[in-house]
Amino acid sequence: MIRPRNEHTLAAACEVRGKGYWSGRAVRVRFCPASSGNGVRFVRTDLPGRPDCQAIAANVATASMRTNLQNDEIQFEMVEHVMAALYGLGIDNCSVEVDGEELPGLDGSAAPYVEALRSVGMIVQAADRRRYHIDRPFRVGDDSSWIDVTPVADGQPIFEYHLDYGDDSPIRPQHHRGLLSPHSFDRDLAPARTFVTAEQVARLRSAGVGRHVGPQDLLVFDETGLVDNRLRFENECARHKTLDLIGDLALTGVDLVGRFVSYRGGHRLNGELARMLTRLAGIDHDMPESIANVTTRDAGQVQVA
């Protein structure tokens, strides 16, 4: 078994400002260093007592088209891009201070977060980062959408996404596959932006949300194709869905070693897998730091594909 890497945190604090996609409210996000074993915690600096919420699968709250975290009555909305940026760069311990409920949408990608995080650098911490090694195949989902999880021989995590909304969708079928490393995340996934159809935009606005968001804030597709924007990658939509998958699975709180292939999966299915991985691995986020490696064999029975 490959020896776990050391945990990392930020060398200094950095911040990002923007508006929430759903609420339109201005918000500041401040990323601060954190001690070993802290993991990622979101903190509401706008509320008395600065209530916080650990970024783990058990704290995911039900939401549409995004991933929210909740601790009692406190919510943090649309955390997946922040989680993907931290996980993709290998930043394990971080306090994410937010002066509002919703994280900013920015340009629809994780690139602005990555730029801010890279600007301050990281420091190596003494503790080993926990790893979760997949050692047998299993699947979550059904015939219409699923995620296959399989072992890998070389210890390099692989993430793959197959997007197919059918012949009537303005977004063509596409896929993305790649090894995950800080370099590949920065280059291949972080710039990929959120996307919606014009029909979805109309429904959201009629519900009173997202009224300030336009084609320059994210990718919008109508029946003729992309509206008033240019793709950064030919398969940018599949890349962004891969980014979302990584951000949601980051809520396991461990390095995942395996191959993860999603077909038409979304935040709900990603969250289901994150909770399953947590259960299979027997992950206790308060367990001693000396327990650093877990495999599905240690965890017991799995659903075999």
The tens digit of pLDDT for each residue in 56-112 reads: 999 999 888 899 999 998 999 999 999 999 999 999 999 999 999 999 999 999 999
- Label the pairing between strands 195-197 and 219-222: parallel
Q: What's the DSSP call for residue 53?
A: E
AA letter at 192:
A
Report how far residue 262's alpha carbon sits from residue 206's, in angstroms, rounded to the nearest whole number: 31
AA letter at 62:
T
Beta strands in 22-171 (DSSP E): 26-33, 40-44, 52-54, 60-61, 68-71, 74-76, 94-98, 122-128, 131-133, 138-141, 146-150, 158-163
End-to-end CA distance of the chain: 24
Q: What ranges in the chain are assigned the alpha helix state H?
A: 80-89, 111-120, 182-184, 198-206, 236-249, 267-281, 296-299
Burial class, 254, CB count within 10 angstroms (exposed 0-12 / middle 13-18 / buried 19+): buried
Report how far residue 33's alpha carbon sits from residue 11's, in angstroms, rounded to the nearest whole number: 7
Predicted TM-score (pTM) of the model is 0.92
Residue 305, pLDDT > 80, answer: no
Q: Which pLDDT does position 147 carry in this prediction?
A: 99
Q: Which residues pair with 30 in a beta bridge?
A: 15, 97
Over the stretch 221-250, which tens digit does the pLDDT of each residue have?
A: 999 999 999 999 999 999 999 999 999 999
AA letter at 294:
V
- Label the pairing between strands 138-141 and 259-263: unpaired
Q: Where are the domains of the chain?
A: 6-299
Q: Which pLDDT does position 288 carry in this prediction?
A: 36
Of residues 244 and 294, more confidence is placed in 244
Report how far residue 182's alpha carbon sits from residue 5's, in angstroms, rounded to the nearest whole number: 13
Catalytic residue check, 267: yes
Question: How much is the average pLDDT of 107-124?
Answer: 98
Q: Among 8, 81, 133, 267, which one carries the catalytic annotation?
A: 267
Assign 2 a pLDDT band (cuts: 50, 70, 90). Answer: low
From 225, 229, 234, select the one nearest 171 (Cα to Cα).
225
Report how far residue 251's alpha carbon sits from residue 262's, in angstroms, rounded to the nearest whole number: 17
Assign 298 a pLDDT band (cuts: 50, 70, 90). Answer: very low
Q: Which pLDDT does position 205 carry in this prediction?
A: 80
| Count of Cβ atoms closer than 10 Å to residue 276 Cβ | 18
Residue 292, pLDDT > 80, answer: no
Does the domain at 6-299 match CATH 3.40.50.1360? Answer given as no
Average pLDDT over all residues of the chain: 90
Q: Which residues pair with 37 in a beta bridge?
A: none
The token duo for 111 is 């690139």
Q: Which pLDDT does position 109 carry in this prediction?
A: 98
Question: How much is the average pLDDT of 145-157?
Answer: 95
Residue 136, pLDDT > 80, answer: yes
Q: Which pLDDT does position 284 carry in this prediction?
A: 59
Contact 190, 109 (CB under 8 A): yes
| Count of Cβ atoms closer than 10 Å to residue 10 Cβ | 23
Distance (Å) of CA 172 to CA 8, 112, 225: 39, 27, 9
Q: Which residues pair with 257 in a beta bridge?
A: 133
From 103, 133, 144, select the one nearest 266 (Cα to Cα).
144
